Each structure stands twice: as structure tokens, then as C-alpha cells.
Structure 1
Amino acid sequence: MKKNIGILAGIFCLAAILAACGRSAEETGNFNTPGNGSSGSLETILALESETVEATETGEPETVLIYYGSSIGKELKTEEVDLPRKTPEAIIGALRTKNIVSVDTKVNDFSISEDGKHITLDLSAGFRDYLKTMQEGSEAVIMAALTNSFLDAYDAQDLLVTINGECLETKNRTYKDKLGFVDFVE
């Protein structure tokens, strides 16, 4: 466990250094402007990643497809990620490594309808605050990546994202409706 935290600390330090050295968004996975408040202290990052590791250390490993933005406009890229166990927290942890969610984004609640086609994902206010720092195009990429990752992982039709049980509202849009799979971000 301590070894995993040490490795994660090293990865996050390297990512911060690469971002500070002016690497492209594709190289760092960062589509945000510097100083947007999306970064956290190393202590915060380690605590959140530790929770994700603890929550997923049991069970059979599962491969999920994670979606994230590319530096080429609004194109989405994918990466297969092996998770110790497919949980909403583990998926959010994988999305965190691609800067799709902020370091302080937590899963408050998660549910799938009985028929398995409809997902409700309630996140902490950190995710909304992160989106509020985005331009409209970057926000669209982040929402598409989040949506596609969860729909693909759970083979569902749509996703409703809420913040602390309430409607997700950013400076660009209000997300009252369920979101479907996105082939190309417009």
C-alpha cells in the first residue's frame, strides 16, 4: 500500500513538472489554463488516490476504456486501463490521471437502473468548480469523456450527472438531462 502511494506521488510530481515545462495538452492530458485552481497539494492528491486504491484492491482486475481529450481540437482518445475492480471511484481515479476530473472530485453516490441502461452519478462540488474554470469547448470534451467512460464501462445508454444531489450547472451550461454517448464533440 505504501509502495503504491509512493509511486503515485512520483507520477503526480512528474505530471506537474511536465505541465510546468510547457508540454502540450496531449502530452500531459491537461486541457486547462494554468492557475485555474484545478490542482491540489501533493497531500490532497495522495489522500484521494489512497482512497481509490483502498476501495479497489479486492476482487478480479477489470479492463475499462477511459476516454479523454486530445490536443487536436475536440477529438476524443481512448486508453484501456486495468482496474483492480470496476467501481465508480476507480473510474474517477483513472479519469483523474487524464485531468478529466479535478483532484478533489469524489463520488457521492452512484446508481444503475434495474434494466442497466441508466446511470446516475452524483459527484462532489469539486467537479462543478473545476468545470467552471473551463471554456465551453474544454467543458464539452470533459463531459463527453466522463460520459463515454461510464457508459462504456457499464454498457449503459445514458448518464445523469449531479452535484451533491442537485443539477450540475456551470458558467457554460446547465445539465438537467441525461447524457448519451458522444462520437465527436461539437
Structure 2
Amino acid sequence: MTTTRLTRYDRGMLRLMNDRRAAAWYATAARRRLAVSGHVALTLAIGGLMAHMFLAEGEPLWTVAVMAVLLLPWMVLTGVINGATRGLLELREHVLDERQSAERSRVLARAHRLTTLLLAAVAVTLLIMGGAAGDAPKAYAAPLLIAVLVAHRVMPLWVAGWHAQNEPADDGVLEPGALGR
């Protein structure tokens, strides 16, 4: 951390992001990756329902209810990923130490590259569909653009959660078999 005084908000967020009561949810790499995969799946499901709602004829109000139900586990998984990364993307820059700040830069750069690839794939898909149909599929352009914007927003969280490291073991505790190495 820098010498900048922390505000009440900063102290509260730091306490929240370093609360280890839910550590069992993200204690291993497999659990963190499962949380990220679940978050991606829920994001895709909510986005698909949103696209269906705007593209379907009639009044599909059931989609709003299903999206509201899916939003709760989506928010829980967001919290799990934020806890696993200790708030790497949620804390303000002046609250992070040098290692965390460098890790945030790496995560943002990697997420930027992935989002760029996703955007290129969407553009190529629209161009191919437009070439096959003789005209660009305008009805799908807005939902795809919104999907890419959502992916752009949550991609750093997914990358940080996917690449988060295990917590260091206590210094005084040896793992079984550590002496034989």
C-alpha cells in the first residue's frame, strides 16, 4: 500500500475482500475455476435470455423472471471470485501493494487481449452471416454488441479468478512428505 490515507470506504472494502469466512468456496484451483465457469455459464444464459426477450415476437415476460432468478447465483459467484482474488479488481489502486498492482495490470492486459479476440470473432461471424444472407443480419447486431460489452466488463474478473493462486501455507506447518524432498 502507498502512504495515501485510506478512506472509510477503502477500509471497509479491504476488510470485505480479505474476509476468509467463505474461503472453502475458492480454496483450490479447481473450485476457483468451477466458480469462473459457472459465472461464465450464467452470464451466457442471462445474455441469451435477454436477446430472446428483445428478438422474440410477443411479450415473453417469463424471461424476465428467469433472468431475475439467475441473477442471484450470478451475484454469489461474483463475490466468490472477488474473494478468491482478494478484491484485485474491486479495490482502488492506492489500496493495493506493488505485487497486487502488477497482478492487476497483467490481468487487465490478458483480459483486453481475450476481449479483442472475442470482438474479432463476433465481427467475422456477422460478416460471414451477412455474406451468406446477402445482407448483414441487423437484428442480431445489437444483442451481439451488448454481449461483447458485457464480456468486456466481466472478462478481467474471469481472468483474475481463473489465474488466482492458492493461499500460501503457514510458515510453521510442513506439508506431509515435505521433508523427503
TM-score by length of 1: 0.23
TM-score by length of 2: 0.24
Greater gyration radius: 2
